[in-house]
Amino acid sequence: MNPLLAFALGLSVRILLPVGLTLLVFYFLRRLDERWQKQALQLPVIAPGQKPCWEVRNCPQETRKHCAAAQQPKVPCWQVFRSRDGVLKENCLGCEVFRQAPILIKS
């Protein structure tokens, strides 16, 4: 076998193959991350029969006018108040509305 051909073959096996596989894995992981981000942006709706938080907590009408949760009545209040990185506010974790909410599993 020609030494130059053997060198090129060895180089491609040692360098090009791992780089190619790494790029392929990177591509699939990016697609998976995009899909998960799209799913995360889909806010769940309030379960049928569940009262919104401002009714449970008896918030006055003046407070409701400025409340972000009251502006989006079909979305659970704790979803409205999540930070951009998905973290819930501290006072939502102990809130009775959050703790009594049914768990809805999407299929």
Q: Quick: pLDDT tens for 52-102.
A: 888 888 889 998 899 988 888 888 888 888 888 878 888 888 888 888 877
Q: What is the pTM of this model?
A: 0.51
Highest mean pLDDT among 5-19, 33-47, 84-98: 5-19
Q: Please report, in angstroms and rounded to a whole number, the separation of the first and last CA atoms in the chain.
A: 57
Q: Are residues 38 and 57 in the same domain?
A: no
Range of the domain at 90: 53-100
Specify whether the CB–CB gap between 45 and 74 falls below 8 A.
Answer: yes
How far is residue 49's CA from residue 99's CA, in Å, rounded to a whole number?
A: 16
Residue 42 predicted with pLDDT over 70: no
Specify if 47 maps to a domain: no
Counting the structural domains of the chain, the total is 2
